[in-house]
Amino acid sequence: MPFKERYRPNKASWLVRAGAFAGLAFMHIPVFIIILYAFTTDDRTYRFPPPGLTLRWFEVAFGRADIWQSMSLSLLVAACATVIALILGTLAAFALARAKFPAKDSLTVLFVLPIALPGIITGIALLAAMKTLRVDPSVLTIILGHATFCTVIVYNNVIARLRRLPANWVEASMDLGADGLQTFRYVLLPQVATAFLAGGMLAFALSFDEIIVTIFTAGKERTLPIWFFNELFRPRDRPVTNVVAVIVIAVTLIPIVLAYYLTRPDDEHETAR
Amino acid sequence: MRAASTFFYRRPYWYVALLLVPPLLWFGTVYLGSLFALLAQSFYRIDDFTAQIVREPTLDTYRQLVTQPANVDIVLRTVSMAICVTIACAIIALPIAIYMARYASGRMKAFFYVGVMLPMWTSYLVKIYAWRLLLAKEGIIAWCFGKLGLTGLLETLLEAPGIGGPSLSSSYLGMFIVFVYMWLPFMILPMAAALERVPGSLLQASADLGARPSQTFRNVMLPLAVPGIAAGSVFTFSLTMGDYIIPSVVGAPGYFIGMMVYVQQGTAGNIPLAAAFSVVPIVLIFVYLGIARRFGAFDAL
């Protein structure tokens, strides 16, 4: 057998390597393109390459009242949904992390169902319920929908951390004379705090960007994604749409990156193999 | 307070029950209640003359769903798209997952994980919009083909029956590309997680026993990646089944299940038919979950 073909555990074949880097590039190019298009001087077509670059569209976009309105509505909804999700998701995670009781498995499924089923199901289900109860769509119904799937995100983050926590820590703390509150304050809380924060940030980003459920529950209210979606079919303000796209990327990515650093596993531990 | 905390520590059931009350109330009423309302609506029907919803249990709406050829077409179209997208995602994800899980280390590994997470969490709508720019008639992809002198090839592709259209952004081919792009990270991450757990000794043993790298890949690595692929495919399949934004922004005019739900509840005002249509993906996803479970999808999550 030729020497070249021997198994080398630390070296990927060129095929795998090329596939991996090409795949990664494929995942990033569209995002860069959007950023580039926010500066194009062309306001009619999607022509590539852009004929020139300008900052003018940012100025135009910041002067638009409708964008500010949609933006503040989206921020309000995301903030409310995140607060509700943090409370409900954390409670559910603490309840289900260790306990053993008959209905536990069905509850675990219930708490991930809003993410496991496609968003359109949640959306149309909420709408069906609103029609049945004759509730009119409003900001409140948007928050109701968002809080539901945001809860799942917080729940997933917190329960993952709780499961990694050795079970006997709590017992050790109690044996050493701490009461329940002290154990929570000094043992559980420091461990769970970052997962809690990360869950909240992911929930916020998810809510800020959500459209699939929102369309069904929003009625006449226009969150930023709904504004953006409508704009896709009325391409009059194409340059402004491009600018809003960049703003949306920034607003969602900041909490995502923070959440990543909060939940990052220890590097040494991960790579030692 | 102290007494209360001791009370609950001694009685774990009470503790769990107390914690569960608020989330269960919310999920029980808002979520399960809504799903139940949805199911109930699908058993109502719409009166053809008055366009009012008749609130009597009937199977008429489901009969309409399965007997009209147009509706059956929509279901078949959506399912075939979901299957194609799942297969394409699995193929593209495999080298990325293998590289990040088995070969990259330290900085490179972190780079790949962040590189997969960032596009996954980038705004959903903005990504779709970006693809509209890329796929447009005068967009970048057409420009690249032109620069490479391959405009003829692109035109041949777009003339192909079934997948073609006037431009990439109004063809099933374009829609397929966008779907694959959107759900790719959901395939890569479970696949990489499954591959991370493959003991290195197995690969070494295979090599020691004389297998060539390609044999090791085919007979050792790939079978062990199957649970990860199955787990990822649950996401790609279910996300494609339910999406209605992508087919309405990119692609040919044929309807998909999600669009049908959206149109029926909106302009058509036919909530019962929309509800019946939304039951289809739920059923199909549960069938798919059953299949994926046999391949070990749930162990890989």
Whether A232 and B249 have beta carbons less than 8 Å apart is answered as: yes
Whether A75 and A208 have beta carbons less than 8 Å apart is answered as: yes
Binary contact (A9, B204; C-beta < 8 A): yes
> If residue A23 lies in a helix (H) or strand (E), which one and from where to where?
helix A14-37
Give the pLDDT confidence score for residue B183 in this predicted structure. Answer: 95
Give the pLDDT confidence score for residue B44 in this predicted structure. Answer: 86
What CA–CA distances, in Å, run from B211 to B205, B214, B221?
9, 8, 12
Please state the ipTM of this predicted complex.
0.83
Q: Examine the pLDDT at B264 and tell me if it is beyond 50.
A: yes
Structural domains in chain A (count): 1
Please report whether residue A156 resides in a domain.
yes
| A272's tokens | 């030692």
User: Tell me: the pLDDT tens digits for B191-222?
Assistant: 998 888 888 888 889 888 988 888 888 888 88
Helices A238-263/A65-98 angle, 10° precision: 20
The distance of B45 to chain A (nearest Cα, Å) reads: 13
Give the pLDDT confidence score for residue B301 in this predicted structure. Answer: 57
What CA–CA distances, in Å, run from B11 to A27, A151, B131, B251?
51, 26, 56, 58
Please report whether residue A24 resides in a domain.
no
User: Tell me: the pLDDT tens digits for A141-182?
Assistant: 999 999 999 999 999 999 888 888 887 888 888 888 888 788
Q: Does A245 touch chain B (CB under 8 A)?
A: yes
Give the pLDDT confidence score for residue B9 in this predicted structure. Answer: 74
User: Tell me: the pLDDT tens digits for B213-248?
Assistant: 888 888 888 888 888 888 899 889 989 998 999 998
The pTM of this model reads 0.86
Q: Among B95, B131, B210, whose Cβ lies nearest the Cβ of A30?
A: B131
Give the whole-number percent of chain B exceeding pLDDT 70: 99
**Residue A4 CB neighbour total at 10 angstroms:** 6
- Cis before B223 (ω within 30): no
Q: Which of A267-271, B107-111, B158-162 has the lowest mean pLDDT?
A: A267-271
Q: Does A78 touch chain B (CB under 8 A)?
A: no
Please report whether residue A239 resides in a domain.
yes
Whether B230 and B296 have beta carbons less than 8 Å apart is answered as: yes
What CA–CA distances, in Å, run from B7 to B2, B13, B21, B168?
9, 11, 18, 66
Please report whether residue A15 resides in a domain.
no
Give the pLDDT confidence score for residue A271 in this predicted structure. Answer: 38
Whether A53 and A41 have beta carbons less than 8 Å apart is answered as: yes
For chain B, count helices (H), then strands (E).
16, 2
| A258's tokens | 């923070």
Whether A254 and A240 have beta carbons less than 8 Å apart is answered as: no
| Residue range(s) defining the domain that contains residue A258 | 65-272
pLDDT confidence bin for A3, thresholds 50/70/90: very low
| Domain at A212, CATH number | 1.10.3720.10
**Distance from C-alpha of A204 to C-alpha of A75, rounded to nearest angstrom:** 9
Binary contact (A117, B132; C-beta < 8 A): no
Q: Does A92 touch chain B (CB under 8 A)?
A: yes
Coil vs helix vs strand at B16:
helix
C-alpha distance across the termini of chain B, in Å: 39
Name the residue with higher pLDDT: B280 or A268: B280
Q: What ranges make up the beta strands (E) of A114-214? A: none
Nearest residue in A to B136, CA atom: A46
Give the pLDDT confidence score for residue B300 in this predicted structure. Answer: 58
Mean pLDDT of B94-105: 88
Binary contact (A23, B24; C-beta < 8 A): no
| B19's tokens | 């914690």
Mean pLDDT of A75-102: 91
| B240's tokens | 């494609």
Mean pLDDT of A13-29: 89
Residues in chain A: 273
Residues in chain B: 301
- Kindly report the average pLDDT of chain A as a whole number: 84
Please report whether residue A185 resides in a domain.
yes
Highest mean pLDDT among A95-99, A141-145, B277-281: A141-145
Please report whether residue A21 resides in a domain.
no
Binary contact (A20, B207; C-beta < 8 A): no
- Kindly report the average pLDDT of chain B as a whole number: 86
Q: Examine the pLDDT at A12 and tell me if it is beyond 90.
A: no
Contacts of A80 in chain B (CB under 8 A): none
**Distance from C-alpha of A232 to C-alpha of A226, rounded to nearest angstrom:** 10
Contacts of B178 in chain A (CB under 8 A): none
Give the pLDDT confidence score for residue A5 in this predicted structure. Answer: 46
Mean pLDDT of A260-265: 76
Give the pLDDT confidence score for residue B33 in this predicted structure. Answer: 92
Please report whether residue A180 resides in a domain.
yes
Q: Which of A20-29, A40-49, A98-107, A209-218 has the lowest mean pLDDT?
A: A40-49
Please report whether residue A109 resides in a domain.
yes
The distance of A93 to chain B (nearest Cα, Å) reads: 9
Q: Which residues 6+ apart lie within 8 Å of A241 measured at CB?
A: A228, A231, A232, A235, B129
> If residue B241 lies in a helix (H) or strand (E), which one and from where to where?
helix B222-242
Contacts of B116 in chain A (CB under 8 A): 24, 27
**Distance from C-alpha of B209 to C-alpha of B139, rounded to nearest angstrom:** 52
**Distance from C-alpha of A214 to C-alpha of A233, rounded to nearest angstrom:** 18
**Distance from C-alpha of B11 to C-alpha of B2, rounded to nearest angstrom:** 14
DSSP B168-193: GGGSHHHHHHHHHHHHHHHHHHHHHH
| A216's tokens | 């069904």
Contacts of B206 in chain A (CB under 8 A): 7
Nearest residue in B to A118, CA atom: B242
Structure-token match 């073909």, residue found: A5
φ, ψ (nearest 5 deg) of residue B45: -140, 165
Which among B170, B141, B165 is positioned nearest to A46, based on CA atoms? B141
